[in-house]
């Protein structure tokens, strides 16, 4: 692989690997499989290097590949072990001990609530509210129309609101 | 706009996708309906929680390990 291509893909990788991993994990709830999705996604980036020139589109493209790879793993392995308690760290390491404890508790409670959502609604919320894609990009990534994407985000948010209603994470 | 209509248009309101007449009707309803105002505030709060705490992070060590694995698969000159 030419050095210039490796440098270019590494820039993409460093900018987007956290989002790719997050989308994969929220579909699969399994670290090892989410890492396999990261691998498969950026292998495809190497293969498509000439077609990813538009920086405005590359993020949605990567998340779409990750989402499809994750769904493919799910379909191949119906018995996939999932464990929302077996979560990697979700908090910034620059926080102090007290902030870390609070942030970890919030992240864990939110994660448990996300886990309870319908899969299509969870992915829509993750793409829109966590990864910051536009509603149109959410529709493209998940392969549905704009109104369906909006409905999934709406239902996911409302389910989260109810699930977290009596939670201490809410101010 | 009534409560049911507001619930149907809540996402469009949050996305800024309502036209000016619809937005004015929504604002008017929210000014007089505490329960819809609460739903809107709680939904905004959930969006903020997801934005701030919804990402499962990957440590820099893990990122480096996965990058090495990737380079091992595709090869590098």
CATH number at residue A41: 1.10.1740.10
> Domain for residue A142, yes or no?
yes
Chain A residues touching residue B67 (CB < 8 angstroms):
10, 13, 17
| Pair A7, A51 in one domain | yes
> Domain for residue A151, yes or no?
yes
CA distance B60 to chain A (A): 10
Chain A residues touching residue B42 (CB < 8 angstroms):
161, 165, 170
| Pair A53, A12 in one domain | yes
User: Greater confidence, A48 or B18?
Assistant: B18
**Global confidence as pTM:** 0.88
| Pair A112, A77 in one domain | no
CB atoms within 10 A of CB A137: 20
User: Greater confidence, A52 or B35?
Assistant: B35
> Domain for residue A14, yes or no?
yes
| Pair A77, A99 in one domain | no
| Pair A102, A135 in one domain | yes
**pLDDT of res. A44:** 93
> Domain for residue A109, yes or no?
yes
**pLDDT of res. A167:** 76
Check which CATH number belongs to the domain holding A170 and give it: 1.10.10.10
**pLDDT of res. A105:** 84
Please answer whether residues B10 and B36 qualify as being in contact, where contact means their C-beta atoms are separated by less than 8 angstroms: no
Among residues A58, A81, A104, the one where a domain terminates is: A81
> Domain for residue A90, yes or no?
no
**pLDDT of res. B22:** 95
Q: Residues B20-26: what's their mean pLDDT?
A: 95
Question: Phi/psi of residue A86, each to 5°?
Answer: -90, 60
Please state, in angstroms and rounded to a whole number, the distance separating the CA atoms of residues A8 and A65.
18
| Pair A6, A75 in one domain | yes
| Pair A111, A73 in one domain | no
Among residues A81, A103, A132, the one where a domain terminates is: A81
Domain range for residue A29?
1-81
Please answer whether residues A30 and A81 qualify as being in contact, where contact means their C-beta atoms are separated by less than 8 angstroms: yes
- Pairwise CB contact (< 8 Å): B66 & A17: yes
**pLDDT of res. B16:** 93
The total domain count for chain A is 2
Residue A13 burial (CB < 10 Å; 0-12/13-18/19+)? buried
| Pair A119, A53 in one domain | no
pLDDT tens-digit series, residues A87-101? 444 444 455 666 656
| Pair A168, A119 in one domain | yes
- Residue to substitute from B56, B65, B66, B76, interface A, most A β-carbons within 10 A: B56
| Pair A55, A1 in one domain | yes
**pLDDT of res. A118:** 94
**Percent helix, strand and coil across chain B, each to the nearest 5:** 80, 0, 20
Among residues A51, A81, A111, the one where a domain terminates is: A81
pLDDT tens-digit series, residues A103-139? 688 888 999 999 999 999 999 999 999 999 999 999 9
């Amino acid at each position: 692989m030419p050095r210039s291509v490796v440098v270019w893909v590494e820039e993409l990788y460093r900018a987007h690997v956290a989002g790719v991993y997050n989308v994969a994990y929220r579909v699969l709830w399994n670290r090892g499989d989410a890492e396999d999705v990261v691998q498969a996604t950026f292998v495809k980036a190497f293969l498509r290097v000439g077609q990813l020139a538009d920086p405005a589109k590359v993020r949605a493209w990567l998340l779409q590949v990750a989402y499809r790879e994750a769904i493919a793993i799910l379909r191949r392995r119906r018995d996939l072990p999932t464990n929302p308690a077996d979560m990697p760290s979700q908090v910034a390491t620059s926080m102090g001990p007290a902030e870390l404890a609070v942030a970890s508790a919030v992240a864990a409670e939110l994660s448990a609530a996300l886990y309870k959502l319908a899969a299509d609604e969870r992915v829509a919320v993750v793409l829109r509210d966590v990864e910051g894609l536009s509603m149109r990009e959410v529709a493209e990534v998940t392969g549905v129309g704009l109104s369906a994407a909006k409905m999934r985000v709406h239902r996911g948010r409302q389910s989260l609101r109810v699930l977290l209603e009596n939670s201490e994470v809410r101010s | 706009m009534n409560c049911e209509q507001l619930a149907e248009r809540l996402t469009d309101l949050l996305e800024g996708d309502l036209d000016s007449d619809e937005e004015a009707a929504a604002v008017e309803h929210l000014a007089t309906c505490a329960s819809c105002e609460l739903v809107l505030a709680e939904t905004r709060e959930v969006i903020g929680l997801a934005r701030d705490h919804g990402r499962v992070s990957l440590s820099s060590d893990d990122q480096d390990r996965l990058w090495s694995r990737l380079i091992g698969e595709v090869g590098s000159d």
